[in-house]
Amino acid sequence: MDKKKIARVAAFRYKILAIIFLVLAGGLVLLPKYQKQEGIKSETLLSHANSTERYISTDQIANKIINQDPSFILIDVRNEDSFSNYSIPNAINIPLKKIFDEESLAYLNQNQFDVVFFSNDNFYADQAWVLCDRLGFKNLRVLNGGLNKWFSTIINPKMPNEDMPDEEFELYSTRKAASMFFGVVYSDQVTTEDSNVKPEAPKQVITVQKKKKKVAEGGC
Amino acid sequence: MKELEKVKRISIASTLFILAVLIGVLTFERPKNMYAMNTKTTLEKLSTNDYMVSLNEITPEVIIIDIRSQYEYDKGHLETAINISTPDILSEENQGFFNELKDANKIVVLYGKSPQEANIPFMLLYQLGFDNVKLLAVENNYLQNKLITSQIDIEKPVADIKAFIAESVKKSNASKTIAEKTEPVKKVVTVQKKKKKVAEGGC
């Protein structure tokens, strides 16, 4: 009698176990919902976004371009029309809408270069940055102030007033030299050499090259 | 008897297994503040939806949120604005608040010192699924400690750079005979001073 009972319960157990496993398997279907989270956590993204270290100034970029620093790529996130009208030399055009296209990802998702986003302002560039940073892309930067600041600082630097400190004048002359590099011609510049302006520009650049030495000293 | 042994072992093993699974499920922590959208859909929505709001579109039903710091908020803020600074935007309390507003179908408008500043919390909330969140296209400045709010356009080019460069080239070609204004150019040499600075730092 006892044996029979035990055997019956034993047979029943298997069924219970099978049902429990089925329920658990059903639970697995619900799990992927949590795993849908793409990219880094929202808290991490917020803390990244709160720090301003992603911003790079127009002066830094101008310096890098003039020194032919190969370590970065400029990404213009404006539309094609604005890009074809004017952009920073050597920039690549990836309109904001297309940043997740296959060919764009090749530029954005790599560890070799610093990626510097820019637009007219840093509004769209920041949006591109947020989306790419969420996906965990490395070395993303944003040009602070975008092309508007590029214009007001590098292309058309404002002459400092006479009562301003010496540094302002230094900065102005550096920027002016940079603007000549980027194609702006000043009327006083033409006097030194007759008409051909372009040879002038490289001469001005030499001053900026001195910064190269800086890096060597830093290394020591 | 041997068979019974086997059955016992199997049932013990499976109960342990189930226990392990149960513990796993119970201790599984649901991540907080989950994204409701992946990056691609966010991008699509950003390019199709209109999320910029101008000052005159604000009605009394709209909830205005100031994302600047408490200090800035106390100094001056828009009327009826609520202060939730960017770093606190994901806190439980504030997320609950946003959820309530979303359930009540209210439009939430963020503003900061500039739209650029409010852009970050906006993007974050947007990706978390709060598509009732919008951005106020204003810039806040202080004039004699009074908050001045002015409407601005985002991403508006200040100047046509290409035209500017072309203009400068044209100008210089036209006035070839301007003389003796070379002094400011000479000043370029002063960049050397910067060099000294870094050398000192290096040592």
3 state DSSP class of A103? helix
Nearest CB to B188 within list A37, A173, A217: A173
Nearest CB to B165 within list A121, A184, A188: A184
The answer to whether the CB of A144 falls within 8 A of the CB of A55 is yes
Average pLDDT of the residues in A65-90:
89
Instruction: Return d(Cα A60, Cα B21) in angstroms, integer.
Output: 55
When divided into structural domains, chain A yields a total of 3
Provide the pLDDT for residue A219: 57
The answer to whether the CB of B120 falls within 8 A of the CB of A126 is yes
The percent of residues above 90 in pLDDT, for chain A, comes to 20
Please report whether residue A14 resides in a domain: yes
CA distances from B96 to B84, B93, B99 (A): 13, 5, 5
User: Do residue A170 and residue B194 have CB atoms under 8 angstroms apart?
Assistant: yes
What are the structural domain ranges in chain B?
39-151
Residues contacting residue B76 through CB under 8 Å, at least 6 positions apart: B140, B142, B145, B146, B147
Are residues A48 and A31 part of one domain?
A: no
Nearest CB to B34 within list A37, A187, A191: A37
Are residues A130 and A51 part of one domain?
A: yes
Chain A residue closest in CA terms to B168: A185
Average pLDDT of the residues in A97-115:
87
Helices (H), A31-122: 32-35, 42-50, 58-66, 80-85, 102-108
Are residues A199 and A122 part of one domain?
A: no
Q: What is the dotted CATH code of the domain comprising B39-151? A: 3.40.250.10
Provide the pLDDT for residue B98: 92
Task: Give the residue from B156, B14, B65, B70 showing the smallest Cα distance to A14.
Answer: B14
- Pull the structure tokens for residue B198: 């870094």
pLDDT tens-digit profile of A139-176? Answer: 899 999 899 999 999 888 888 888 888 888 989 989 98
Are residues A173 and A128 part of one domain?
A: no
Residues contacting residue A212 through CB under 8 Å, at least 6 positions apart: A67
Provide the pLDDT for residue A196: 44
Q: Of the residues A116, A144, A172, which one is the last residue of a structural domain?
A: A144
DSSP secondary structure string, A154-200?
A: IISPPPPPTTS-HHHHHHHHHHHHHHHHTT---TTHHHHSSS--TTH
Provide the pLDDT for residue B178: 46
Return the minimum-mean-pLDDT range out of A45-49, A130-134, A211-215. Answer: A211-215
pLDDT tens-digit profile of B45-99? Answer: 888 878 888 888 888 888 999 999 999 899 888 888 999 999 888 898 999 999 9
Rounded to a whole number, what is the distance in Å from the CA of A113 to chain B's nearest CA? 22
Q: Which residues of chain A neighbour B198 with C-beta distances below 8 Å?
A: 214, 217-218
> With an 8 Å Cβ cutoff, is A27 touching chain B?
yes
Q: Cβ–Cβ contacts within 10 Å for residue B105, how many?
A: 8
Instruction: Return d(Cα A129, Cα A141) in angstroms, integer.
Output: 7
CATH number at residue A128: 3.40.250.10
Q: Of the residues A123, A144, A165, which one is the last residue of a structural domain?
A: A144
Q: Which residues of chain B neighbour A43 with C-beta distances below 8 Å?
A: 32-33, 90
Are residues A135 and A76 part of one domain?
A: yes
Provide the pLDDT for residue A198: 43
Task: Give the residue from A178, A134, A136 showing the smallest Cα distance to A154.
Answer: A178
Instruction: Return d(Cα A23, Cα A29) in angstroms, integer.
Output: 10
Mean pLDDT across chain A, nearest whole number?
A: 80
Rounded to a whole number, what is the distance in Å from the CA of A196 to chain B's nearest CA? 9
Are residues A57 and A124 part of one domain?
A: yes
| Single-letter amino acid code for the residue at B47 | S
Bridge partner residues of B138 (DSSP): B151
Q: Which residues of chain B neighbour A86 with C-beta distances below 8 Å?
A: 160-162
Task: Give the residue from A59, A38, A123 showing the smallest Cα distance to B119.
Answer: A123
> With an 8 Å Cβ cutoff, is A150 touching chain B?
yes
Please report whether residue A149 resides in a domain: no
Average pLDDT of the residues in A32-51:
79
Domain of A78, in residue numbers: 42-144
Return the minimum-mean-pLDDT range out of A114-128, A188-202, B25-39, B127-141. Answer: A188-202
Are residues A128 and A191 part of one domain?
A: no
Provide the pLDDT for residue A34: 56
User: Do residue A214 and residue B194 have CB atoms under 8 angstroms apart?
Assistant: yes
Task: Give the residue from A146, A8, A1 showing the smallest Cα distance to A78.
Answer: A146
Query: Which residues, given as ranges, of chain B have pLDDT below 50?
Result: 177-196
Are residues A177 and A131 part of one domain?
A: no
Chain B residue closest in CA terms to A32: B30
Provide the pLDDT for residue B1: 61
